[in-house]
Amino acid sequence: MKIALPIENKQIFQHFGRSPQFIIYTVEDNKITEQEFVSTQDLAHQHQALAQFFVNRGVEVLIVGGIGAGAQAPLKAAGIQVVNGATGDVEENLHAYLRGELQPKEGHSCGCGGHDHDHHHHDHDHDHDHDHGNRII
């Protein structure tokens, strides 16, 4: 079985679509038999291309931090299991998954950290007075 995780400094990179690299583990009988670092820097936010990238490498499971619905859809359509919500050390998460302790979470989590792609975050400062008369508010 091949399991991929987005990695930065041995930690789960928290934004799937922006991860510059992944580590792909080959696991047999719950033991790591091979590991490979692969660059995905040129595929940032190209959800369909990322899904094909993992299909071409035989990946069956992706363990990720944050991932949006637009990235999950082509992965699931390709038959890749997405386990979202992971944080911390990459190998600890891999072993937790192999022990059955790390399960996919319902829905999706973007993990975008406030950058702007298909999200609209607006801060409004309304600094004006309202005359509410004698009403109790």
pLDDT one digit per residue (tens) for the chain, 137 residues: 999 999 999 999 999 999 999 999 999 999 999 999 999 999 988 999 999 999 999 999 999 999 999 999 999 999 999 999 999 999 999 999 999 999 887 654 544 443 333 433 333 333 434 344 443 44
Terminal C-alpha separation, the chain: 61
CA 28 from centroid of its chain's CA atoms: 24
- Give the residue among 25, 12, 43 at the shortest CA–CA distance from 109: 12
Indicate the angle between helix axes 47-56 and 69-77, nearest 10 degrees.
40
CA–CA separation, 123 vs 34, rounded Å? Answer: 47
Nearest-5° Cα angle at 109, 106 to 111? 160
